[in-house]
Chain A
Amino acid sequence: MFDIKDLYQEVIVDHNKNPRNFGKLEDATKTLEGFNPLCGDRLTLYIKTENDQIQDISFDGSGCAISVASASLMTDAMKGKSLEEAERLFDQFHNLITSDDELDLEQMGKLAALAGVREYPARVKCASLCWHTLHSVIEGDATPVSTE
């Protein structure tokens, strides 16, 4: 049976307690807010891109363990990626947390720690908030992202 500790894996608990890439990025080229009105999760994503490549990325805000750990892991995974690669990862991550498909967890690296979210549909929005925000930044959207 699925155990609650499969959702709150050590990686998640650790990234929630000590989020990586947390804080404002002073030389960000793009900034966008994401908001989950249901639970009040709120984050701001800071990105520095050059030649369609993510040079640096960070976030700040507050939210539940799933949303903070997801943003921490996502920003770690995005550094140095091209925008095209970032969009591909967005699709793969979406698949990771929502579909019933068999998964190649190795390919997802540390992001695989969030695979447990698929067992908790109510928490998908928490895990995907930062990703939707990133997706909007890449698409050039300037309006704050809401998961509702």
Chain B
Amino acid sequence: MNNSEKIIDAFPSSNDFDINKIRADFSILTETVKGNPLVYLDNAATSQKPTQVIEVLDQYYREYNSNIHRGVHSLSQKATDVYESARDKVKNFLNANSTKEIIFVRGATEGINLVAQSFGLSNISEGDEVIITEMEHHSNIVPWQMLCETTGATLKFIPINDAGELIMEEYAQLLSDKTKLVAVSHISNALGTINPIKTIIDKAHAVGAKVLIDGAQAVPHTRVDVQKLDCDFYVFSGHKLFGPTGIGVLYGKHALLESMPPYQGGGDMISMVTMEKTAYNALPHKFEAGTPHIAGVIGLGAAIDYVNAIDFDAAANYENELLDYALSKVDQVEGMNLVGTAKEKTSILSFTLDSIHPHDIGTILDDQGVAIRAGHHCAMPIMERFCIPATARASFAFYNTHAEVDALFDAINQCREVFG
């Protein structure tokens, strides 16, 4: 029996989601680590890539690698077509109104920085307020701190309760006509909490504030409809959505993007340059200076094709089953304490185990082939809120199995054995 066979799931699933077919698309899942089958539970850090994405990247470099938007030759035309068709796929994926609203960036982090620097510097000034939450990733804290430092605006945050949910009454108190922007994660990377973003957006709009949603953790698990949400900006990273690293998306409402100054200057973002003056290119190109990550965009398009081809709702249900199965096992482990127990929660299991430091847990789990994240998850204010230095975090994707959840808990029990 080879290692890959060992982790095929025999657990009956409540829907027709074909886990074995899905797993066959992710060849990395048959790798071994320290002699054990890889059990990859670090999906909130980055997801694995299906063969369909890897082949598209390979094909671009092998068959039509060339620069876009400038060549008259055939390869450049093809690269441009595939690049722009990926923009169309992203538009449909988010249900945006137009491809002009889809800006390719390096990742969610760059998307937030773009909004902070471009929208922020031209719309926010001394006396204004920006609201974030206590559960944000550093990428949705630091750009706003930098903006407030430059402009003299004030940064406020919505606190969270012991379950890791936003205290919405406090949010209502924070909002005022001074509020210019609210920036909130759709799903928390450290706690798994799904935030009530529709309510947050509506309340912010009621006082005239704009809203940015950090969807880095949300897009792999839930459908997003930016028009229904009515958010002003939405950002996500390709690599958490089964696509390549180094590529992400900023969605922005057309009129807002139109009114914003460029973020970076260079080629592709201009329509006319003289030594005295530059006329900027139209949207979306105004925000895409320089040769972009063409392969990344094409790969992201393939990743969206992939999630569109599987039954996304069934996949989400399956992930919830995995989470419930894992949660049912937590009580059986003495000293295991969950951090983040929100009612609305995605498949992220953040925990502490007695006084065993998460870093030690991570090493012992790795020895069993189980890959998790240990640390502060780039969300140090959350750790401070719960008075812990770090947590261990297992995060599931739809290619994980019940057998892998078992492997996780076997390895957790091994930690207790090592530390007596």
In the complex, the answer to whether A1 meets B35 with C-beta atoms within 8 Å is yes
Residue among A4, A16, A38, A63 with the highest chain B CB neighbour number at 10 A? A4
Distance of A93 Cα from B364 Cα, bound (Å) = 23
B18 at the interface (CB under 8 A from A): no
Known: A5-B418, A13-B418, A40-B383. A65 touches B357 (CB 8 A): yes
Contact of A64 among B35, B360, B383 (CB under 8 A): B360
In the complex, the answer to whether A40 meets B389 with C-beta atoms within 8 Å is yes
Contact of B389 among A7, A8, A62, A120 (CB under 8 A): A62
Residue among A8, A13, A63 with the highest chain B CB neighbour number at 10 A? A8
In the complex, the answer to whether B374 meets A39 with C-beta atoms within 8 Å is yes
Closest to B380 in A: A40
A66 at the interface (CB under 8 A from B): yes
Closest to B375 in A: A39
In the complex, the answer to whether A63 meets B363 with C-beta atoms within 8 Å is no
Chain A residues, Cβ within 8 Å of B363: 4, 7, 120, 122-123
Report A1-35 residues with CB < 8 Å from chain B CB.
Answer: 1, 4-5, 7-8, 13, 16
Chain A residues, Cβ within 8 Å of B376: 39-40
Report B346-390 residues with CB < 8 Å from chain A CB.
Answer: 356-360, 363-364, 367, 374-376, 380, 383, 389-390
Contact of A63 among B357, B364, B420 (CB under 8 A): B357
Chain A residues, Cβ within 8 Å of B358: 39, 64
With both chains docked as a complex, state the minimum distance between the C-beta of A4 and any C-beta of chain B, in angstroms. 4
Closest to A4 in B: B367
Chain A residues, Cβ within 8 Å of B61: none
Give the bracket for the number of chain A residues in contact with chain B. 20 to 34
With both chains docked as a complex, state the minimum distance between the C-beta of A79 and any C-beta of chain B, in angstroms. 26
A111 at the interface (CB under 8 A from B): no
Interface string of A43-79 (1 = CB under 8 A from B): 0000000000000000000111110000000000000
Chain A residues, Cβ within 8 Å of B374: 39
Distance of A120 Cα from B359 Cα, bound (Å) = 12
A114 at the interface (CB under 8 A from B): no
Report B232-266 residues with CB < 8 Å from chain A CB.
Answer: none
Known: A7-B363, A64-B360, A120-B363. A39 touches B418 (CB 8 A): no
Closest to B362 in A: A122
Distance of A121 Cα from B418 Cα, bound (Å) = 20
A115 at the interface (CB under 8 A from B): no
Contact of B359 among A5, A8, A39, A42 (CB under 8 A): A39
A126 at the interface (CB under 8 A from B): yes
Chain A residues, Cβ within 8 Å of B357: 39, 63-65
Distance of A8 Cα from B356 Cα, bound (Å) = 12
With both chains docked as a complex, state the minimum distance between the C-beta of B367 and any C-beta of chain A, in angstroms. 4
Chain A residues, Cβ within 8 Å of B367: 4
In the complex, the answer to whether A39 meets B360 with C-beta atoms within 8 Å is no
Closest to A3 in B: B367
Contact of B375 among A1, A5, A16, A40 (CB under 8 A): A40
B11 at the interface (CB under 8 A from A): no
Residue among B356, B357, B389, B420 with the highest chain A CB neighbour number at 10 A? B357
Contact of A40 among B35, B390, B420 (CB under 8 A): B390
Closest to B417 in A: A5
Instruction: Write the residues of chain A forming the contact surface with B, with a CB cutoff of 8 angstroms.
Output: 1, 4-5, 7-8, 13, 16, 38-42, 62-66, 120, 122-123, 126
5 contacts between A and B (CB under 8 A): A38-B375, A41-B359, A41-B389, A64-B360, A126-B359
Instruction: Write the residues of chain B forming the contact surface with A, with a CB cutoff of 8 angstroms.
Output: 35, 356-360, 363-364, 367, 374-376, 380, 383, 389-390, 414, 418-420
Enumerate the 5 nearest inter-chain pairs by beta-carbon distance, A residue then B residue, closest first. A64-B357, A64-B359, A40-B389, A4-B367, A65-B360
**Further pairs besides A38-B375, A62-B389, A66-B360: 12, Cβ < 8 Å:** A4-B418, A8-B364, A13-B419, A13-B420, A16-B419, A39-B359, A39-B389, A40-B383, A41-B359, A63-B389, A65-B419, A66-B359
